[in-house]
Amino acid sequence: MLVHNSDVAEIFNKVADLLEILDENPFRVRAYRNAARTVGSLSQSVAAMVEQAKDFTELPGIGKDLAGKIEEIVRTGNLSQLQDLEDRIPPQLIRLMKIPGLGPKRVKTLYDRLNITSLEDLKKSAEAGEIKNLKGFGEKTEKAILAELGREKKEERIKLNVAEEVANGVVNYLKRVEGVSEVIVAGSFRRKKETVADLDILATCKKGSKVMDAFVEYGNVGKVVAKGETRATIVLRSGIQMDLRVVPEASYGAALHYFTGSKAHNIAVRTLGVKGGLKINEYGVFKGKKRIAGKREEEVFDHVGLSFIEPELREDQGEIEAAQQGKLPKLITLKDIRGDLHAHTKETDGRHTLEQMVEAARNRGYQYVAITDHSKRLSMTHGFDAKRLAKRNEEIDRLNGKLKGFSVLKSIEVDILEDGSLDLPDSILKELDLTVCSVHSKFNLPMKKQMERIIRAMDNPYFNVFAHPSGRLINERPPYDVDMEELIKAAKERGCAMEVNAHPDRLDLADIHCRLARDTGVKLVISTDAHSVNDYDLMRFGVWQARRGWVEKEDVLNTRSADELKKLLKRK
Ligand SMILES: [Zn+2]
Ligand SMILES: [Zn+2]
Lowest average pLDDT, out of 47-56, 192-201, 358-367, 449-458, goes to 47-56
The pLDDT value given to residue 549: 98
The pLDDT value given to residue 172: 95
Give the distance (Å) from ligand 2 centre to CA of residue 423: 15
Give the distance (Å) from ligand 2 centre to CA of residue 7: 18
Give the distance (Å) from ligand 2 centre to CA of residue 70: 24
Give the distance (Å) from ligand 2 centre to CA of residue 508: 12
Buried-state track 319-358, b at ≥16 Cβ within 10 A, e below 16:
bbebbeeeebbebbeeebbbbbbbbbbbbbbbbbebeebb
Give the distance (Å) from ligand 1 centre to CA of residue 134: 48
Domain 251-324 belongs to what topology? Beta Polymerase; domain 3 (3.30.210)
Domain 158-246 belongs to what topology? Beta Polymerase; domain 2 (3.30.460)
Of all ligands present, the nearest one to the C-alpha of 467 is 1
Of all ligands present, the nearest one to the C-alpha of 440 is 1
CA distances from 357 to 312, 326, 343, 346 (A): 31, 42, 8, 10
Domain ranges of the chain: 5-150, 158-246, 251-324, 334-569
Give the distance (Å) from ligand 2 centre to CA of residue 363: 21
Whether the model pTM is above 0.85: no
What tens digit of pLDDT does each residue of 101-115 get?
788 888 888 888 888
- Of all residues in the chain, the percent with pLDDT exceeding 70 is 98
Q: What's the CATH architecture for 5-150? A: Orthogonal Bundle (1.10)
Local structure of 197: helix, strand or coil: coil
Of all ligands present, the nearest one to the C-alpha of 350 is 2
Give the distance (Å) from ligand 2 centre to CA of residue 512: 22
Domain 334-569 belongs to what topology? TIM Barrel (3.20.20)
**Is residue 475 very low, low, confident or very high in pLDDT (cuts 50, 70, 90)?**
confident
Give the distance (Å) from ligand 1 centre to CA of residue 463: 15
Check: CB of residue 508 under 8 Å from CB of residue 501: yes
Q: Strands 413-415, 436-438: parallel, antiparallel or unpaired by DSSP? A: parallel
Give the distance (Å) from ligand 1 centre to CA of residue 413: 7
Neighbour tally for 524: CB within 10 Å? 25
Give the distance (Å) from ligand 2 centre to CA of residue 438: 8
Between CA 291 and CA 463 the distance in angstroms is 58
87 or 402, greater pLDDT: 402
Give the distance (Å) from ligand 1 centre to CA of residue 377: 12
φ/ψ (deg, to 5) at 205: -155, 165
Give the distance (Å) from ligand 1 centre to CA of residue 519: 25
Check: CB of residue 490 under 8 Å from CB of residue 455: yes
